[in-house]
Every structure is written in structure tokens, then in C-alpha cells.
Amino acid sequence: MAGLTSPARDPGNPAGVLPKVLADRLAAQLLSGPPAGSVADVVDRLLAVQGQDPRGARLAIRARSVGLRAADIDRALTVERSLVITWLNRGTLHLVRAEDYWWLHQLTTPQLLTGNARRLAQEGVPPPDAERAVAAVDRALTAEGPLTRGQLRERIAATGVRTEGQAIVHVLGLASFRGIAVRGPMIGNEHGYVLVRDWLGTPPRAARVLADRDTALAELARRYLAGHGPATDRDLAKWAGLALRDARRGLAAVAPELDQRDDGLTDLAGRPGSTALPPPRLLGSFDPVLHGWASREAILGSHQGIVTVNGIFRPFALVRGKAVATWSMPDGRVALRPFAPLDAEVSAALEADAADVKRFLEG
């Protein structure tokens, strides 16, 4: 698609992302500008929020909203059934709106089955055992309702299928890819698994329309840019875990709704540019801002090996659009580990945000 090339490069910026591009992307992510007022607003904007770390997914919503608490996400999952967590996109867990589950699942999971079968075999679960395990998941959830991973592990192991190591993860992934189960309600401090057909019912009319692949690719392109623009076709392909040709196909389908920018990037037409970077903010582990584009160097720079190691993405502090520290809560209080000394104003802002993190999680 014309115009979808690498962004203009700044000789002083090795990531090749100009400060204005970074500001626009962070605004699209709801990290600057007016914050969202509800859980649904945040998830709607981002489309799919990294969900493998429960606290990280909740903190991603906190950083992009005002006045919410972690309990609001739990309520949306458990009482309202408006959110679910399941394996999508690149084969990782994502938090999505229930109404978006249907078409995203159909669009982004079929290509994950081959890798899933390979990993199951590596974990000592051959195809016949995998089929027996998925059937056990279906039976258990049908008979007993929501169950935790530990409870499902017991039901699967009782059929003679191996559940040690990562085998249970890939068995549950297969049940997810088949459209049988998703993570729905909270059971204590754990996400419970539920049957899709029981928990979500029949697909809404909009999801049935999006069952058409071309229509779904167009919706994907439109919604991706809403929360990640400006971007390139390669950014979309990497984020969604789709082939580059599919990303280009989706973008081409909505071309009249897009602007081809002078810097070679594409964004939704008419979106006002951002004039400022976000205020100092504490972001959780696996924050979506590190997963939305082909490169995360613009934010992490030389600290990439500190924030992300062996597939783990640590919580970090974002200041002037850059990672400046990692943080943790070993005793219920935020402990900051700066990469370099922070000035008094930034330290005070991060301390105030740390108090909000505590308020959010305790709620």
C-alpha cells in the first residue's frame, strides 16, 4: 500500500522515530491527553491488552484512565461479562471486550494451531492425548462451571494426559484456539476458565458481519490505528501476528479513512496531532506501549535489556516518553530503580503516581 514505509529518521535518534511520532503514538495509547473514564473505553481504544500478567493488565488500564480501581476490571470480567482474556494475536493472552472476542479469535488464531501442536509434542502430549485433554476441559466446564487452571489440571491429569511443565498451558491454549474456553470470571485471586458458549452465548450481529475475513481485516486495521497510530503495515502485522500481506489488505480496505503522512506513516484521517508527551507515569509489566510496533527502541533505548529479559517485561517508569527506571512492590509500596539520577520534579511526580498505583490496587 502506498505510503506505508519506514518513518522518517532523526540522525540523533537511533530508533528512527521522531519525537513528534512518539508523542502521537503515546496520545493514541491514551497515555497523554484526556484519560478514559471507563474500563471499556481503554480496552476499546487498545483493542487487545496484553493479559498474561493479571496485575500488568490492570495497571495498563489505570495508566490510561482516571478514578478507576482494579476491582472495576474484576467486575467487568466477573459480573458484567463485558471482558474476557484469551490467547489471540501473537499467541499470547490478551484482554479484550467480549464483543470483539468473536472476530479477533476467528481472524488471529487459526495460524497458531501449528505452533501449538509442535509445543504439545515437545511437552509429551501427542495428538490423541491433546484431543482427550480438550474433551476433558469441555466436560469439566460443562458439568462444573468456572474452574481455575489448577482445577482443570486435575481433571485433565485424571484422563492420563501429561500436565507437567508447560503442557497444561498448551492444552488450555488449544481449547482456546478451538473456541471452547476463555478466561472469564475471577475465582478468588485467579482467572477462571469458562465455556465460550455458556459465558458469552451466541455472537452478536456485528460479530457475524465481521466473520467475513476481508471485513475483519478492515476492522483490524481501523481499530489498530485508533490505539497505535501513526504506524506502518509492518507494525500492524507484528502486533496482530498476521502475514504482511494481510496487514496491507486490511489497510488498503480502509484507505479512504486514512492519512498518508509526510513522515511515511499512516494514521486515521483527521486525528489531531499531539502537542505534548505524557506526564511521568508508572507502567505495569507487559504494558501495551511496548508491544504495539515493530521496534520498542524509541521508548527503551539502551535499557531494553533491563526492562525486558527472556520474554519478561518488567514494570517501568515512563518520563518524557522514555523508560527511566524499573519498579516493583515488594512490601506493598513502590520501589523505584532508576537508570540514572532523577530530578526532584520527576521524583515527586512518580511518587504521586506511586500513591495512585497503591490506591488502584487496594481498591
Q: Summarize pLDDT for 326-358 with one digit per residue, the tens.
A: 999 999 999 999 999 999 999 999 999 999 999
pTM given for the model: 0.93
pLDDT computed for residue 274 by the predictor: 83
SS3 of residue 295 by DSSP: coil
CA gap 343, 30 in Å, rounded: 25
Instruction: Provide the pLDDT for residue 17.
Output: 65
Cα–Cα distance between 359 and 68 in angstroms, integer?
9
Q: Which residue in this structure is represented by grid cell 527502541?
A: 297
Amino acid identity, position 127? P
Rounded to whole angstroms, the Cα distance separating 108 from 150 reads 27
DSSP 108-172: HSGGGHHHHHHHHHHTT--HHHHHHHHHHHHHHHHHH-SB-HHHHHHHHHTTT---TTTHHHHHH
pLDDT of residue 348: 98
Cβ–Cβ under 8 Å, residues 77 and 83? yes
pLDDT of residue 81: 98
The predicted structure's pLDDT at residue 286 = 98
pLDDT at 12: 36
User: What local confidence, expressed as pLDDT, does residue 9 receive?
Assistant: 45
Handedness of CA 120, 124, 127, 129 (dihedral sign): negative
Rounded Cα–Cα distance for residues 60 and 286 (Å): 9
pLDDT at 6: 37
User: What is the mean pLDDT of each successive set of 10 residues along the chain, which is 363 residues long?
Assistant: 38 56 96 96 98 97 98 98 97 97 97 97 98 98 97 98 97 98 96 97 85 96 98 98 98 97 94 90 98 96 95 97 97 96 98 98 84
The DSSP symbol for 231 reads B
